[in-house]
Amino acid sequence: MGRLSGRTAVITGAASGIGRAASILFAAEGASLIVADRAEAVAETAEEVVKAGGRAVAITGDAGEDGFVKSLVDRAIADSGRLDVFWANAGISGGFSPLHEQTADYWAEILRVNLIGPFLAVKYASKAMIPAGKGSIICTASVAGIRSGAGGPAYSASKAGVISLAQTACNELYGTGIRVNAIAPGLIETGMTKPIFDGARARGNEDKIGQLNPTTRYGVPEEIARAGLFLASDDASYVNGQTLAVDGGLSTSHPVVRRKR
């Protein structure tokens, strides 16, 4: 316990799922939090943290919007005088509509939230961290960004971009002491994946969810949160520009059932 004692962290996409689990864990490890989401339920995340004895402020807004991301960093500095961790976790899936039915606007919105959002986090968080000579920026990617078979085209492309962003950003920040890494979750039960789980349960085959990975099960948000805690803490002091797959082994092969056109 206490791996983030005295530190300040911003977590986006914190209203539910991975973001909420990370908020609760980071607070338990001593971090003061700014938790953000466009869903009003982010206030419930902050309330849960405070009830457990932690410190959290909830702010609603769009994590793909320049001014909002900057305001999160500004609030952390105003409240604590420092920013140690920024986890750019907010994202959208966009569904599974066929490629030939997708529009440029559809792609632009997914890229705006899933890729431009993390870019903005790196841009503003790193500027605040440079004077301290250290900091950890974490971006939520996906196994869908590693290879085909785990997501739709636009979503997968956006998450591949996040993986590249972690690599290029850490080199842009050469010598600053700031680390930029990504986490690539596999199939995790969250609000985003709720339709998949609801459908499987309705068909009575919940036991088959996650059967394609070597661990033969799906994951839960707390497992991703623990990976994020590692990257946020000094335990990962020599980990930079990497993408940590937390997927039960799915990304070793990405087996898929082919669909006929």
Angstrom distance (rounded) from CA 88 to CA 9 = 11
Angstrom distance (rounded) from CA 210 to CA 223 = 15
Under 8 Å between Cβ of 34 and 76: yes
CA atoms lying within 13 Å on the CB side of residue 197? 12
Q: How big is the chain, counted in residues? A: 261
Which residues, 6 or more positions from 201, have their beta carbon under 8 angstroms from its beta carbon? none
SS3 34: strand
Query: Is residue 155 annotated as part of the catalytic site, yes or no?
Result: yes
Radius of gyration of the chain (CA): 18
Which of these is catalytic: 155, 174, 218, 238? 155
Residues 167, 169, 174, 180, CA torsion sign:
negative
Closest CA to 139 of 71, 89, 98: 89
Catalytic annotation, residues: 155
